[in-house]
Amino acid sequence: MIHDLEIRLAAFNWLKEQVNIQGDVLPRSVLQAGFDFRGTRIPLVSPQGIFKPRIMGLPLSITTTPDSPYEDNFSRDGFLQYKYRGTDPNHRDNVGLREVYRQGRPLIYFHGIVPGRYLAVWPVFILEDNPTELAFKVAVEDLDSINLDTTDQFKVAEIEIGRRAYITSTTKVRLHQRTFREKVLAAYHSQCTLCRLRHRELLDAAHIIPDFEPESRPTVDNGLSLCKLHHAAFDSFIIGITPDYEIKIREDVLDEIDGPILQHGIQEFNGSHILLPAREIDWPNRDALDWKYQRFLEAH
């Protein structure tokens, strides 16, 4: 069925374009609007987790929302366990996904990170159907291993189970990283805590205690929303932040004369205070700031 395959390929290409523009965490509004396919609008998500566009015969995407009633998770063998819709294995959505599995068709997986924002992962394939657990086992695949041959069927390269598990496990790591970023940026209303810049594409979620340190935690209170300039300056100890949320600029940098970027972008913040999240529970942890600030002082 070339029509089905063409839509899937068009969806993959459209997602690639969106990710190149916006990053791999996309707004739900964009996914709901979808893309145009030969004059027909193809949305990629709906209120149902297993979604089949009207013009397709089989599901195109599966979604886990941030407030999902289903306990989708990664199993010990590294794969995603995607729960059936409801408890009836013969529900039409479960039947449709089972047919996707039987035909070996690729899907798109959207994982809700925070309300309204989803990590986009594709292609994914169903490896197993487990009616006793009311779940499908799902693996992430390398797009380069998919080929469209003369029979108009997607063929997946025969690869060892360990490699598929590894590819899927890297998605789990990426999911954790994006979750940290999205939660930190949401706490700061998508603006830099120093300069108030609001362009998300220029913002980072910076760890106060770096994530490679044993004391680090992937929590909002160990994060700061910083523009890329101030993130780099914070990590390289040009900028320090005291446990009382005061901004300090390294003394030798304060003495430099190097144009308006240095003057207005860094030096003028000395002695001011960072913007704090609305919820006190999200404020930067004072002990974490002290850990970082002591290293800032040592760098002088």
pLDDT, position 71: 64
Q: What is the mean pLDDT of residues 16-37?
A: 95
pLDDT, position 141: 85
- Pairing mode of beta strands 107-114, 61-64: parallel
Domain ranges for the chain? 2-183, 190-298
pLDDT, position 150: 41
pLDDT tens for residues 177-218?
A: 999 999 999 999 999 999 999 999 999 999 999 999 999 999
- For residue 189 the two structure tokens come to 């209303």
As a whole-number percent, the residues of the chain with pLDDT over 70 amount to 92
Q: Which fold does the domain 2-183 belong to in CATH? A: PUA domain-like (2.30.280)
pLDDT, position 76: 74
Listed in sequence order, the residues at least 6 apart from 146 whose beta carbon sits closer than 8 Å to its beta carbon are 106, 123, 154, 155, 156, 157
As a whole-number percent, the residues of the chain with pLDDT over 90 amount to 77
Rounded to 10 degrees, the C-alpha dihedral 89/166/171/100 comes to -30
CB atoms closer than 10 angstroms to residue 118: 26
Q: 251 phi and psi, to 5 degrees?
A: -60, -40
pLDDT, position 251: 95
Res. 137: pLDDT tops 50: yes
Res. 147: pLDDT tops 90: no
> In whole numbers, what is the pLDDT of the chain averaged over residues?
90
Res. 62: pLDDT tops 90: yes
* 97: confidence class by pLDDT, cuts 50, 70, 90: very high
Res. 155: pLDDT tops 90: no
* 2: confidence class by pLDDT, cuts 50, 70, 90: low
pLDDT, position 145: 65
pLDDT tens for residues 213-233?
A: 999 999 999 999 999 999 999
Residue that has been written with the tokens 């205070």 in this structure: 273
Stretch among 69-83, 147-161, 244-258 having the lowest mean pLDDT:
147-161
In three-state secondary structure terms, 224 is: strand
Q: What is the mean pLDDT of residues 9-26?
A: 94
How far, in Å, are 15, 266, 267, 300 from residue 254 at the CA level? 45, 9, 6, 12
Rg (the chain; Cα; Å): 23
Nearest alpha carbon to residue 270 among 194, 192, 193, 191: 194
Nearest alpha carbon to residue 109 among 158, 157, 68, 160: 68
pLDDT, position 142: 76
pLDDT, position 259: 85
Distance between CA atoms of residues 229 and 238, nearest Å: 11
pLDDT, position 152: 46
Nearest alpha carbon to residue 85 among 60, 64, 111: 64
* 151: confidence class by pLDDT, cuts 50, 70, 90: very low
CB 124 within 8 A of CB 156: no
